[in-house]
Amino acid sequence: MTEAIELELKDQIRELLGQDNWEQALALLSSRHPADVGSVIDELEPDYAYGLFDRLELARQAKVLAYLSTSHQLSMVRRLNQHALARLFTEMNADERADLYQELPEDVQEILMPALAKAEREDLLRLAGYEEGTVGAIMTSEYATLPGHISARRAVERLRAQALNKETIYIAYVLDSERRLLGTITLAGLVIAPDDQKVEELIHRDTVSVNVHDPQSQAAKLIADYDLLAIPVVDDHEAMVGIVTHDDAMDVQEAEATEDFHKGATVGAMPSGVGQASLKTLYQKRILWLILLVFANVFSGASIALYEDTLAAHIGLVFFLPLLIASSGNAGTQSATLMVRAMATGDVVTRDWGRMLLREVSVGLALGLTMAFAVAGIGLVRSGPEMATVAALTMVIVVLAGSLIGMSLPFLLNRLNLDPATASGPVVTFIADVAGILIYFAIATAILTLPT
């Protein structure tokens, strides 16, 4: 749904609800995807939001709830009685149910659990018990399984019977008596196979899987690398315990990309989206690094103070100072961002530092020389050949230095088992700024004539 259509829909729903016309509002949303309905409800006042949600059919509620913001999810479930809450949880997908359960306050959890069936309760506690950030925390237990000894025709019948309660039936997992994964088979493969051919003769045995305790990024990477609809999850005994679907993998990649952007700006991981974050959260996430960088920038002032005599003798140096220092920081940020992303995708690893260093020297020199020609022209017009030489030579060196700092810092942080994403923002800029100031005034002192 385009942004213009989305805004028009939201305005129509608000107008209808303002007229107390619930039936027409529901009719307008009846053909919309649950994500669109969730987006509309997220924008409504609490009473209107719950009123609209409460009038949806149960199956529709379960799907829409997964697309609501955390604050609206909690608002919805807090208004439900124990029986209604249990029915809603039963209708939800297993992984979405576990995610929501972890967000519930303890008092709501205590109300919910006795109302669930024993099997659902055990499954919920098991999925919710995995550590955040692991594969187990995002997997679902709703996957289709088949024994190897049955025929293709019988397997299709079993998948038909399981279809309503499984995340996907396009891929089925063939297990032995101890739930160890023997292989996979697609629905298409079963449909075109001879009716009497055994499933064990049709399965793909070279199946990619992940351990339940692996980082969730590992599952997302394998799904992307092998173009999978889902990846099976096994425990430490090689028994299959769930699957991670491609849509969950996309959510993981989006969340990690967002986290990297935040870290690159020295903000840190946000517990929710910026739109839902409180003023207190936004303040707390930003203030620490800003304060640290304030004190860190004292080094920039101290660097300038070292060359007070040079600056006093050639006040024209001030004109070029922001231009040259910004170029150093910009080049460093570019290099750091490229390296952080390359390391995140596996395109570059720690042992590639030497190879990447040689490439960055070449690229940095080319960039510096190109930018030096531009700044030399300005220097000639404004302050004469000596100042043009200082500006041009400084530009070459600071761009090269900034590029090498930005390229190398993610490798260093990774070697120290720290997050390389921290290097792609103000940290690189600060280091490049201090280095650039020292380089600029050192060159100026060496070339320009100082009064005796």
Confidence band, pLDDT 50/70/90 cuts, at residue 162: confident
**82 and 126 share one domain:** yes
CB of 432 closer than 8 Å to CB of 402: yes
- Looking only at the bridges linking them, the beta strands covering 145-146 and 171-175 are parallel
CA 391/CA 327 separation, integer angstroms: 12
- Only one residue has tokens 């939201």, namely 10
350 and 383 in a single domain? The answer is: yes
| Same-domain check for residues 33 and 161 | no
Q: Tell me, yes or no, whether 185 and 125 share the same domain.
A: no
Q: Is the pLDDT at 1 greater than 70, yes or no?
A: no
Do residues 330 and 439 share a domain? yes
In a domain, 218, yes or no: yes
Residue 294 has pLDDT above 90, yes or no: no
Residue 10 in any domain: the answer is yes
Those residues whose C-beta lies under 8 Å from the C-beta of residue 203, and which sit 6 or more positions away, are 148, 174, 182, 183, 184, 185
Same domain, residue pair 113 and 164 = no
Q: Is the pLDDT of residue 109 over 70?
A: yes
Look up the CATH number of the domain holding residue 219: 3.10.580.10
- Residue 85 CA to residue 111 CA, distance in Å, equals 9
Smallest Cα–Cα separation from 48: which of 7, 20, 9?
20
Q: What is the pLDDT of residue 169?
A: 84
* 178 and 104 share one domain: no
Kindly indicate the confidence band of residue 422, based on its pLDDT and cuts at 50, 70 and 90.
low
Q: What CATH number did the domain enclosing 384 receive? A: 1.10.357.20
Evaluate whether residue 270 is within a structural domain: no
Least confident of 25-34, 289-298, 404-413, 435-444: 289-298
Do 246 and 344 have their domain in common? Answer: no
Domain residues for the domain of 60 are 3-132
Single residue among 236, 251, 266 that ends a domain in this structure: 251
Average pLDDT, the chain: 85
- pLDDT band at residue 450 under the 50/70/90 scheme: low
**Mean pLDDT, residues 90-94 taken together:** 86
- How many Å apart are CA 225 and CA 437, to the nearest integer? 44
Mean pLDDT of 165-192: 90
66: DSSP letter: T
The total of other beta-carbon atoms located within 10 Å of residue 346's CB is 9
pLDDT score, position 239: 92
What is the tens place of the pLDDT at every residue in 32-76?
Answer: 999 899 989 988 888 898 999 999 999 899 999 988 888 888 888
Residue 232 has a pLDDT of: 94
| Residue 270 clears pLDDT 60, i.e. is over it | no
pLDDT at 150 over 70: yes
Q: Other CB atoms closer than 10 Å to residue 397's CB: what's the count?
A: 22
In this structure, is residue 258 part of a structural domain?
A: no
Q: Is residue 287 domain-resident?
A: no
pLDDT at 190 over 90: yes
Would you tell me how many other CB atoms lie within 10 Å of the CB of residue 164? Answer: 7
Residue 443 domain flag = yes
Name the domain count of the chain: 3
Sheet holding 230-234, edge to edge: 210-211, 230-234, 240-245
**What six digits make up the tokens of 383?**
């302050």
The answer to whether residues 302 and 437 belong to one domain is yes
Q: CA-based angle 264:267:270, to the nearest 5?
A: 110
Average pLDDT (132-154) is 91
Assign 348 to helix, strand or coil.
Answer: coil
Instruction: State which of 132, 157, 189 marks the end of a domain.
Output: 132
* Predicted confidence (pLDDT) per residue in 311-329, tens digit: 888 888 888 888 898 898 8
Query: Do residue 437 and residue 303 come from a single domain?
Result: yes
**What's the pLDDT at 174?**
94
Do 150 and 236 fall within a single domain? yes
> What is the rounded CA–CA span in Å between residue 258 and residue 270?
9
- Report the pLDDT value the prediction gives residue 257, as an integer from 0 to 100: 65
Would you state the pLDDT for residue 372?
Answer: 93
